[in-house]
Structure 1
Amino acid sequence: MKDTRVPDWYNTNRQPAFIRHGAGPMNAPFGTPKYPWGNMPALNILQLKDNEGETEVNRDFKLLFAASGDLRNAIKSVDGLPHGYKGECVAVLNDKDLTIVARNAIMLMIALRFPPKAAVPMIIHLWYSALLPAVMVDTIQSDILPLFQDVCSKIEDKPQNSLQAKTFNFDGRKLRMVLKKQEWDQLVKFCQVPPGLTASEAQIIRRRIMLAPERVDFQDKVMLDLTKAGRQGEMYFRERGILLPHSCSTKDFDTPNPASPRGGWSYPDYMKNAPPATADEFGAIFYYIRNLLLRFCGIVQSSQISFHLLCVDATLLGDYPYVDDMKFDRIEISNICDGEFVGPPICIDRFSRLLKPRSENPHATLLMLFLNAAAATEYVHNSDSNAQETEVAMDRLAHYMPYDEASLLNAVLHTSRTGVEHPILVHRASCAAKLKDWVNYFDIFIRETNIPEFAQLCGLVIKEEHTIVQPWPYLVRLTTTRQEFEILMASERSGHERYIEFRRVE
């Protein structure tokens, strides 16, 4: 362990909840399944340098984020457009969760309507902070809310489930939204603080989730993998809920936001922006996002970029009005292709129809992310060989985390004597899990699901060389250094995240 912090389960001499819940591949569920922030670092899905070329300043692009979650991938991709871009870029963002779509809509409206230096602080805190300065809430209610209310008044007599489209035009900068009538009515509420909800009450609600006592063991397990400074930053954010550099005043944050950031951004990227207190990881995230958003807002206000927002099951997009006649240069579907969600066959079938043919763009790519496939396959194929594999992983771990034999022996004896997992053993087991042969398990998954064969039937083929993102961006390889391993451990990466890129056969 990196300091003297001791988990609650160890202090109270009890078996931790994550052991009691079993050894399945997924964590025990808690709360409602909401995903307000990303759990993978932001990705530029254009990567023009390795595809169409950075000199393509006049080329038009159509990008589909089929299960977008927050805006991070769209922002990163727009930032990837070439300097002096003069083409037309259309970014279609869809998520079936209206909460996510509503927040994305408000943030995009702010980016399109206000000067970058005024827009960026509002976007950051609307995105990540539980409380906002009253002046920000007033601005949203005076400048954004009336636009939504105007739509609602015009469609007042429409059927609740009828689709209603509206294009907002800000001096040529466009945001098109297609929602059901009842969703437009709900959208208004995301600009209004619920009557009677105070800042202190909002914090109580937030802490009930972020600091839930029934999740303390899972939280302590994660904290074991962080540095001392990382733990301090994580706990400060969980308790205060405001994304600011360390020591910045929060006195103006006094109004509930009507609408853990680390998972959505790359550690090496944001730590380049670390403030003078270099261990202030959340301060580094703040400065990194601020700089990224300043560029993003500048680009969208000086280029022909339009956004389309939808709120529908991603598998229906191919037959959805306003989308079915579009073909895309890039399609990013997050990890809905994982088996517990939609699965590979349906995703390949649905999204192959929306990808541009090679005659229009030979670089057109469908990108799938498998977060859980390798782990789920390992769980299903768990056998006598698993003990041997664990031993191999532990041997590899000794290279990255040399151990004191006496301390490790004491930890083993303590666990054997009391039946309570020692933190040292929990931490090392967590680290060793990242060193399993995940490539082998994913190969088994590919064979069992017949992905290449099914893709061929749908007119797709797996790209031999990825041009958007590495297939295994967080895999621990033989060449992985100790520093790289420590960064991986301090991140939210599992090591078995796997991307697949597809292109059209013709």
Structure 2
Amino acid sequence: MQRDLTLIDQQYCCKSCQVAHWPKHKQDCNHEYNKPYWQPAWVRERRDPAYVLASAPAVTYGSARQSRYLWGNVPAIDCLCLSPQESASSSGLDLNICFAAAGDIRNLVSTINGLPNDYSGHCRILLNDLDPCVITRNLLILHALLRPGPSIEMAAETALHLWYSAILRSSDAAELYFSAEAVYKSVDLQAAADASFVNILELRGKSLLSASLSMNNLASLGVLMSKYNVSAALNSMREIMTAPSRVDYRDRHLASLKPAHRVAWARNRRIGALLPFSADASAFTEPNRSMFTPTGEWMTMDNANQLYGWPTSAVLQSGQRNGLDGADIWGCLFVHVREQLAEMARRVERFHIDIYITQMDAKELAASIKCGAYPGFSSDCFDRIETSNVVDCIGLDRVLDDWGPLLRRDKRASLLAYTMNWHVNRPGPSDHRVHGRLVEKAARALNVDLSKLMQARFMNPMDMSLRAQLLTLDFYKDAFDDNAQSFNEWLNEQKSTPTARKHGLRMRAKNRIHPKRFGVPLGAGPRDVPDMTPEDFYNTYVVGGADAPVRFMEFEVI
């Protein structure tokens, strides 16, 4: 009987490569995670995992000191997602796109790369986030990528490391400081804290980058003035990312991964740089100060994972095109992000794309646009408005009230939103038969023989490894739950229909830009559930980290 939930005991590298580079390979190839029958610590220690105990903390991840979302945890979305017919008819149109609570720049990158290849219009993009640290990072990464001067290939790799690596090459660190000086050099440091400043920077081609920020944003620049060294930075990162108190939560994720991907996960956290396995990391000698506090404390949560920001299938395809094995999944991510950034830079150079960066509460930004505070943006002007999961903070009705009037009165215009928390405090299926069917579907998706597993569990009720497999199946069963009725009740509580109608909008019965939930086709209805191969399920939910309850909504003009 299968003893773990791995799908393929895929080796991290071929034997000839191991022999040729054994000193580099030894630490990873001999890692305990590379053993096919590795088990979580709680299984080896014959105890209950922390996440099933009644005393489990309400907040089950992250640092108690400084926790920020510096990397996206939902795969990048092309917010245009134009069909071939739409692409042909949109090639000459002027477009206005708003990212109301952007987080990082992954959706911006994917959307620009989704423009028609022969685009000749003027695309104006408003990129906003409330967090000064997040928006400062976005601004500096974009400037490093898009400024005239460096080759596109060099700029793309630098931007990648500024975004995803905890440690940098000296050239990357120099670019970070260069971009900060370029962006903030004209700022009046004596201005009042509640004042604002605007700086317009030239990009490749005829495009522009405009920053309209509060003077309070300058506080985030304090991280660049810090003096801690790279060893202190890496120690702080590892202290958070591999905290002993969080071992059971990490092991729950690792137990479902292929051995090679467990090793890749561990290596990524050990070296702190996003690189292919074969790459030499010795040149990475500087901390990425944009990811640490001024005193050198790591700022992301311990479950932050660069892979969660991109579709795993696309990441693996990029790796394959570049000759990388799928086992080296962080190497595949490296080449995928580098390609995406380089393509975006080429498009900014070739097209006319202006990017406007603001740092405001999303509601206040919408009100400011309605009042004419941002020339060129006004009511009825946006072809796409992407609001992230702001609905989880203020409610869907308020999001529609704030942003509905700003959508262009055009049948192709779309307001996008998703919710991660709609299911909280809502009862799940109470019928044990329904629960059993969901577990059966999870077993098929994870390539587990459930009947043999249950038989073995009956014969060996004290076998902790068998219990671990059952807990894993229970964890993933929600991916197959048809909870459309419960979600519809939530929509009614949010007054979605009357609020949308008040602004001349309606929610699409079938989405056109992003599927309604992870693992279903784009045109799926609200009751459709994933019907996936084990490989697709692994890529989406296991290594890709998809959160089953997330629901994506699209609103269009009536």
TM-score higher than 0.5: yes
Distance 1:21 1:122, change over 3 A: farther
Residue pair 1:369, 1:498 contacting (<8 A) in 2 also = yes
Look up the match of 1:147: 182
Distance 1:218 1:466 in 2: 34
CA 1:419 to 1:47, structure 2 compared with 1: closer, same or farther past 3 Å?
A: closer
SS of 2:212's partner is: strand
Counterpart Cα distance in 2 of 1:332 and 1:228? 37
* Match of residue 223 from structure 1: 254
Kept after mapping to 1: 8 A contact 2:518/2:540: no
Q: Offset of 1:57 from its aligned partner?
A: 2.3
1:55–1:330 Cα change, 3 Å? same
Q: Find the counterpart in structure 1 of residue 139 from structure 2.
A: 105
Q: Secondary structure at the match of 2:541?
A: helix
Structure 1 residue runs of 5 or longer lacking an equivalent are none
Q: Select 1:484's aligned residue among 510, 527, 536.
A: 536
The one-letter amino acid paired with 2:171 is: V
Partner of 2:553: 500
2:116 counterpart of 1:82: yes
1:393 and 1:219 map into 2 onto residues whose CA distance is 24
Which residue is 2:16 aligned to?
Answer: none
> How many corresponding residue pairs?
488
Provide, for residues 216-248 of structure 1, a one-character-per-residue CA deviation record: whole Å limited to 9, x for no partner. 111100112211122111111122221111121
Q: Give 3-state SS (helix, strand or coil) of 2:103's partner.
A: coil
Equivalence for 2:525: none
Q: 1:23 to 1:202 in 2, by over 3 A?
A: closer
Q: Secondary structure at the match of 2:350?
A: coil
Asked if the contact 2:61/2:246 (under 8 Å) is kept, the reply is no
Q: Is the contact between residue 91 and residue 120 of structure 2 (CA under 8 Å) also seen in structure 1? A: yes
Correspondence 1:304 to 2:336? no
State how far apart, in whole Å, the 1-side matches of 2:244 and 2:56 are.
21
Asked whether 1:328 is paired with 2:362, we answer no
Matched, 1:118 2:154: yes
* Counterpart among 212, 218, 221 of residue 243 in structure 2: 212
What is the distance in 2 between the residues matched to 1:88 and 1:51? 19
1:434 corresponds in structure 2 to 479
Structure 2 residue 441 is the aligned partner of structure 1 residue 396: yes
After TM superposition, the runs of 4+ consecutive aligned structure 1 residues lying more than 6 A away are 418-421
Unaligned runs of 5+ in 2: 7-35, 291-304, 521-527
Aligned twin of 2:88: 54
Q: Where do 1:218-367 residues align within 5 Å?
A: 218-259=249-290, 260-274=305-319, 275-320=323-368, 321-322=373-374, 325=378, 327-338=381-392, 341-358=393-410, 362-367=411-416
Change (3 A) 1:480 1:139: closer
1:459 equivalent to 2:491? Answer: no
Contact 1:226 1:489 in 2 (8 A): no
Any idea what the Cα deviations from partners look like across 1:385-407, whole Å, max 9, x if unmatched? 24332122123334433426555
Q: Distance in 2 between matches of 1:287 and 1:63?
A: 27
Once the two structures are superposed, what CA deviation does each residue of 1:350-391 show, in whole Å capped at 9, x if it has no partner?
010211112xxx211000112232x32xx42247x2433212
Contact 1:51 1:467 in 2 (8 A): no
Cα distance in 1 for residues equivalent to 2:390 and 2:101 = 7
d(CA) in 2 for partners of 1:390 and 1:437? 11
CA distance in 2, matches of 1:108, 1:286: 17
CA distance in 1, matches of 2:54, 2:201: 49
How far has the Cα of 1:420 moved from its partner?
Answer: 9.9
Deviation at 1:336, TM superposition (A): 1.4
Q: In terms of mean alpha carbon deviation, does 246-255 or 448-457 score higher?
A: 448-457
Aligned 8 A contact 1:474 1:494 in 2 = no
Give the match's secondary structure for 2:83: helix
Query: Aligned equivalents of 2:268 and 2:450: distance in 1?
Result: 33
Q: Is the 8 A contact 1:7 1:220 kept in 2?
A: yes
Match in the other structure for 2:40: 7
SS of the residue corresponding to residue 380 of structure 1 reads: coil
The answer to whether the 8 A contact 1:412-1:425 is kept is no
SS in 2 for 1:369: strand
What amino acid is aligned across from residue 13 of structure 1 in structure 2?
A: R
Question: Are 2:203 and 1:203 equivalent residues in the alignment?
Answer: no
Q: Is 1:471 aligned to residue 506 of structure 2?
A: no
Letter in 2 for 1:136: D
Q: Report % sequence identity.
A: 24
Distance 1:478 1:47 in 2: 21
CA distance 1:474–1:33, change in 2 (3 Å): farther
Partner amino acid for 1:131? I
The 5 Å alignment of 1:13-52 reads 13-20=46-53, 28-31=60-63, 32-49=66-83, 52=86
RMSD between aligned alpha carbons? 2.5
